[in-house]
Amino acid sequence: LQKILILLHVTACVVVGKTLLILFPNAMKRYILKQGEKSRMNENPKFSYENWGPTFFSFKYLLFVLKVKWKRLEDEAYEGHPAPNTPVVTSNGEVRHLFDFLQDNRPLILNFGSCT
């Protein structure tokens, strides 16, 4: 049921977005670029709206958003329920799952960080 609701919501957003993109291309370009500012995407010197802007609200865009949102359904954690077996990337780039690191009855501690 959740997947169907997500499908309906994302499809409606894409249809409305595509319609607005066709009817008001300049206004939608400004809107999309404004969203890029919020995500700091515009700070990339190789950023060019012409390279990726037209892909918004396309069929590929719809499929990608659906895939991400449906995958996130599996990753949600709820109080009192078992933890999700979320995929993680090790420091050497290998993709594993959280439960791969469990050992007997020992607690599992996750430490997040970043390097630049």
21-39: pLDDT as tens digits: 899 999 988 888 887 777 7
For 32-70, give one letter per residue: b (16+ CB within 10 A) or e.
beeebeeeeeeeeeeeeeeeeeeebbeeebbeebbeeee
Say whether pTM exceeds 0.75.
no
- The pLDDT mean for the chain works out to 83
Domain boundaries, the chain: 1-75
Residue 114 neighbours by CB under 8 Å, 6+ apart: none
Furthest CA-CA distance within the chain:
60
pLDDT greater at residue 85 or residue 116 = 85
Q: What is the pLDDT of residues 68-97, one digit of tens each?
A: 888 877 667 778 887 788 888 887 888 888
